[in-house]
Amino acid sequence: MLVIIIRTMILYFIVLFIMRVMGKAELSKLDPFQMVILFMIAELAAIPIESIDVPVFTGVAAIVTLLLLEVLLSFISTKSRFINDILAGKPSILIHHGKINMKELKSQRISVTDLMQHLRIKNFPSLADVDYAILEANGELSVIPKPEKATVTMEDMNIPAPSTTMPMILISDGNLYKRNLSLFGKDENYLKKELARIKITDYSQVFLCFFDEKRQLHVYPKNKDSKNMYKEVSMR
Q: Both 143 and 196 in a single domain? A: no
196 within a domain of the structure (yes/no): yes
Higher pLDDT, 100 or 35: 100
Which structural domain, as residue segments, surrounds residue 206? Answer: 168-221
> β-strand 217-221 against 168-172: which pairing, if any?
unpaired
| 74 shares its domain with 133 | no
Residues 140 and 173 in one domain: no
Q: What is the tens place of the pLDDT at every residue in 119-174?
A: 999 998 888 889 999 998 878 899 999 988 878 777 777 888 777 778 899 999 88
Report the alpha-carbon distance of residue 202 to residue 173 in Å, rounded: 12
For residue 208, the domain's CATH number is 3.30.240.20
Residues 176 and 195 sit within 8 Å (Cβ to Cβ): no
**Euclidean distance between CA atoms 211 and 203, whole angstroms:** 16
pTM over 0.75: no
- Could you tell me which residue, 46 or 152, shows the higher pLDDT? 46
Structure confidence by residue, pLDDT tens digits, 76-105: 877 777 777 777 778 899 999 889 999 999
**Biggest alpha carbon distance in the chain?**
71
Asked if residue 113 and residue 45 are part of one domain, the reply reads no
Long-range contact set of residues 10-13: C-beta below 8 Å, sequence gap at least 24:
10/56, 11/45, 11/48, 11/49, 11/56, 11/59, 11/60
pLDDT of residue 26: 60
